[in-house]
Amino acid sequence: MENVIIPPATTTEIRRRTQWLLAPVMIVTVVLGWKYPLLGFAVPVAMVTGMIGGLFRGRYVCGNLCPRGSFIDRMLTRVGGDRPIPALFRKMSFRWLVFAALMGFMVWRLSLNPTSWQHWGLVFWSMCALTTGVAVITGMLYHPRSWCSFCPVGTAQNALGGHKLPLQIAADCRQCGKCEKVCSMNLPIVRHKPAGVLQERDCLRCSECVAACPAAALKWPEGA
């Protein structure tokens, strides 16, 4: 019997499979968290993971390990909009305002009953449900990942390590724009060819652009 050689899965294939496993985490949390407050603690786990990951790899967690990001990429994109992400959503002044408002509101609500883990779970669940609602609405009206452009945890990752391990753009880039068509964050990748690296701190390190480049002109630096 002839041996069949199965090629190894690519980085993007592994990412997509992982996202299909993570997306249900967000769905179950939103749907059942009001009844089972313990599920709400998935929210701080995701937040802390994002913050720690941001120190080393920028927004990698957003693009690869975030349950809500996984839901958006694997499900919402099928019915989401195709309009560009509004410039307002990308402005750091607006983003830090959203960060302060949501985090402040969450801390205030937690302080109302600081000794009850059920209360904390319900607060985390309600914040998740609220922001997921915003993510779905903005994703339907504009680009699917519109929420991710001003998500508080994403903003923190941007600040902590958005400049680290940037995507490299080789001189033989054809500027065809195929990378931009698949970019999860609607980033103008081709514009950064003269610099040789993508100077966008909101890059999610998802590797979709790398896989789509017909000239193999995009790659990650060692350690990325």
CA dist., res. 180 & res. 12, Å (int): 16
Average pLDDT of span 110-138: 97
Show the tokens assigned to 139: 């994703």
Query: Which residue, among 181, 164, 172, has the nearest Cα to 221 in the 3D structure?
Result: 164
- Residue 8: is its pLDDT beyond 60? no
Q: For residue 222, what pLDDT is reported?
A: 79
- Residue 112: is its pLDDT beyond 60? yes
Torsion angle of C-alpha atoms 178, 219, 60, 78, degrees rounded to 10: 20
Show the tokens assigned to 14: 């592994």
For the four alpha carbons of 152, 156, 158 and 164, in that order, the dihedral sign comes to negative
Show the tokens assigned to 217: 């002109």
Beta bridge partners, 169, equal: 218
Helix (H, G, I), strand (E, B) or coil at 23: helix
Flag the least confident range among 3-12, 37-46, 85-94.
3-12
The answer to whether the predicted template modeling score (pTM) of the entire model surpasses 0.85 is yes
Q: For residue 26, what pLDDT is reported?
A: 95
- Residue 7: is its pLDDT beyond 70? no
What count of residues does the chain have? Answer: 224
Extents of the domains making up the chain: 11-161, 168-219
Which of left, alpha, beta for 169 (phi over 0: left; psi -120 to 50: alpha)? Answer: beta
Q: For residue 224, what pLDDT is reported?
A: 64
Q: What confidence tier does 5 reach under pLDDT thresholds 50, 70, 90?
A: very low
CA dist., res. 152 & res. 48, Å (int): 12
Average pLDDT of span 129-151: 97
Q: For residue 141, what pLDDT is reported?
A: 96
CA dist., res. 109 & res. 133, Å (int): 19
Residue range 183-223, pLDDT digits in tens: 999 999 999 999 999 999 999 999 999 999 999 999 999 76
